[in-house]
Chains A and B, each alone.
Chain A
Amino acid sequence: MSRRLLLVDDEDAIRTIASISLERIGGWTVLQAPSGQAALEAAQDDGPFDAVLMDVMMPGLDGPSTLERMRAGLLPNHVPVVFLTAKVGQADRDRLLSLGAIGVIPKPFDPMTLPETLRQVLDQSSSE
């Protein structure tokens, strides 16, 4: 039984590429959500998930706000959330981590190595 991942990104192309990469190379079962609102619904209806990979900048409900609402009962605290973002300054990283995310993967990502990068982030947080 492969692990289930919720992928949240407003860009169709990015979502498609990431999910192909994660499914074919990483062996995840990926459920896609095109917006924060859709992600909240997915968390409620299609759970449980083993991890959430979420874009930061999205129209409507952005990544941090979505995370905040998910943590309010929709998503168990032990489920790791990783952000995808183009901004990777130390301050941005610190801010995202302080919201309860366990890691940040910079955009643009290489689809060939994305599953490996994600695995490292998850391993690191579980070993701590």
Chain B
Amino acid sequence: MANQKSDEYPVIWLQGAGCTGCSVSLLNAASPSIKNLLIDELIPGKHISLRFHPTVMAGAGVKAIEAMEETEKKGGHILVVEGAIPADGAFGSVGEKKGKPVSIPSRLESLAQNAMAVIALGTCASFGGIPAANPNPAQCLSVAQALKNKSITTLVINVPGCPPHPDWFMGTVASILLWGLPKEEELDEFRRPKAFYGKLIHEHCPRRAYYDEMKFAKKLSAPGCLYELGCKGPITYADCPLRQWNNGVNWCVNSGGMCIGCVEPGFPDLMSPIYQKMASQPEKKEV
């Protein structure tokens, strides 16, 4: 592979109102690993060039911002956004321009404008998530909404989860490298790749047999279906029960901690109180 020029896919990773948990989740990727993503060709002949990522990059300050802005100028990059977008720019900024802080929403607008696609990574970027929870003190929006408000039409792919599974991100990126941007029919009604969000947790849950036999756990840590303790598996679409987490060692329901619906647009408000049985089971949709 040495000395062969790869196709470079420049990536800018913008952090908005978030907690860096999406980045840490990506660091937990097993195969491909973060090393494969950063250093190797993720797909033979194709390499991700991570031009800006606040947690990982060596450079800081002006040098980091210059690297971001040069990539932005050339265009054609993949923009990954982690965290929600505060509608009022006063609540967050990244870097300066002529001695004045540049707000997160204005960074988003200029970075999205010329991008090949935007990956809204995590539930905050996809739907608003935790910072947009009632009363939404920083007036946070999803990336798609923030761009829509500015009539920016770059394709947005939502890869939600609090945090998202690293495979969901790697798979979304690898798919772009292999086959180009996703077709509309490959995304669900919330613009999530069906490949990862097409299955209902409840239908593939290892505790499903308990549910069918109406054997419900009476308290946390007990065997049985967690539905009556508040599990949101019946309304949550993700492949966690099949894929499992952290290199397959465990996942929420398996640990008795139940599904809290973290990939859904209503997280956290529509999923709370977390430890309370859902008022009614919403209608099922086709999978």
Q: Please indicate whether A and B come from the same complex rather than being unrelated chains.
A: no
Contacts from B to A (Cβ < 8 Å):
none
